[in-house]
């Protein structure tokens, strides 16, 4: 018996699921062929733009909607459980569709099995599975850097008489690290002086050099390097 997993389908992906319901077998086959033969990239938008313009059995917008929705299903399945059986996951999606208020997602007995077959085929694309695994490995951290900013302040130094002009000043740099933790954006601030800036730059340059060296090692070993562009 399949486990009952309560999920809600976001409005953005309801259109894509409705499109999958109406897909012809030739469209499914064409999409799968294009997805399998397109080089794996973690840049989803770039991948979708590239593939959707090559689809001949669907409009570009419909192809984009179907590919985006299919990719979201790979990510959702991994979030629920990477070990979740495809049949069980598909039943979960079908249940969520039937419980939605969108009439275009309601499945009749006539098209239920056909939809399951199409969804099963789309969820068996090796390139999308590998992409999802790579993304999850990159994001499998407690804190993920979201944005950085570095602000420099001039702070005046006064003598014993504050009513007089400052006798000098100091430069203070504040590094703001904006990071994501459990889907929540948080901030961390750290003060730096000029020496700290030089140390930080040297550390980053060293890390960049190590990264390039490891990329060459991966290339020699014949391993793909998946990275977010």
Whether residues 98 and 149 share a domain: the answer is no
User: What does the pLDDT read at residue 229?
Assistant: 56
Whether residues 155 and 88 share a domain: the answer is no
Nearest residue to 94 (alpha-carbon basis) of 84, 105, 102, 109? 105
Whether residues 79 and 157 share a domain: the answer is no
Residues in the chain predicted with pLDDT less than 70, given as ranges, are 1-6, 227-229
Output DSSP code: residue 54: T
pLDDT tens track for 96-109: 888 888 888 988 88
- CA-based R_g, the chain, Å: 25
Whether residues 62 and 116 share a domain: the answer is yes
The reply to whether 215 falls in a domain is yes
Whether residues 28 and 111 share a domain: the answer is yes
User: Domain tally for the chain?
Assistant: 2
User: What does the pLDDT read at residue 155?
Assistant: 93
pLDDT tens track for 122-135: 999 888 888 888 87
Instruction: Tell me the C-alpha to C-alpha distance, in Å, between residue 18 and each of 70, 92, 103, 159.
Output: 12, 16, 9, 73
pTM for the structure as a whole: 0.66
Mark which of 139, 162, 193 sits at the end of a domain.
139
Whether residues 39 and 134 share a domain: the answer is yes
The reply to whether 2 falls in a domain is no
Mark which of 116, 139, 162 sits at the end of a domain.
139
Whether residues 135 and 148 share a domain: the answer is no
> What residues make up the domain containing 53?
11-139
Whether residues 23 and 95 share a domain: the answer is yes
The reply to whether 177 falls in a domain is yes
């Amino acid at each position: 018996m399949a486990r009952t997993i309560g999920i809600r389908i976001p409005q953005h992906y309801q259109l894509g699921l409705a499109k999958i319901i109406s897909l012809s077998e030739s469209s499914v086959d064409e999409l799968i062929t294009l997805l399998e033969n397109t080089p794996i990239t973690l840049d989803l938008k770039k991948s979708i733009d590239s593939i959707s313009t090559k689809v001949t059995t669907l409009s570009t917008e419909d192809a984009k909607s179907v590919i985006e929705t299919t990719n979201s299903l790979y990510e959702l399945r991994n979030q629920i459980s990477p070990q979740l059986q495809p049949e069980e996951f598909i039943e979960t999606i079908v249940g969520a569709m039937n419980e939605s208020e969108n009439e275009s997602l309601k499945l009749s007995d006539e098209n239920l099995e056909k939809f399951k077959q199409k969804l099963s085929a789309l969820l068996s694309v090796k390139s999308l599975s590998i992409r999802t695994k790579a993304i999850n490995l990159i994001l499998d951290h407690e804190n993920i850097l979201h944005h950085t900013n570095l602000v420099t302040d001039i702070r005046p130094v006064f003598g014993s008489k504050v009513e007089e002009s400052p006798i000098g000043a100091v430069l203070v740099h504040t590094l703001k690290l904006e990071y994501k933790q459990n889907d929540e954006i948080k901030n961390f601030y750290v003060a730096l002086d000029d020496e700290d800036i030089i140390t930080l730059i040297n550390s980053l340059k060293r890390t960049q050099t190590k990264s390039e060296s490891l990329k060459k090692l991966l290339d020699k070993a014949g391993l793909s390097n998946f990275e977010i562009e």
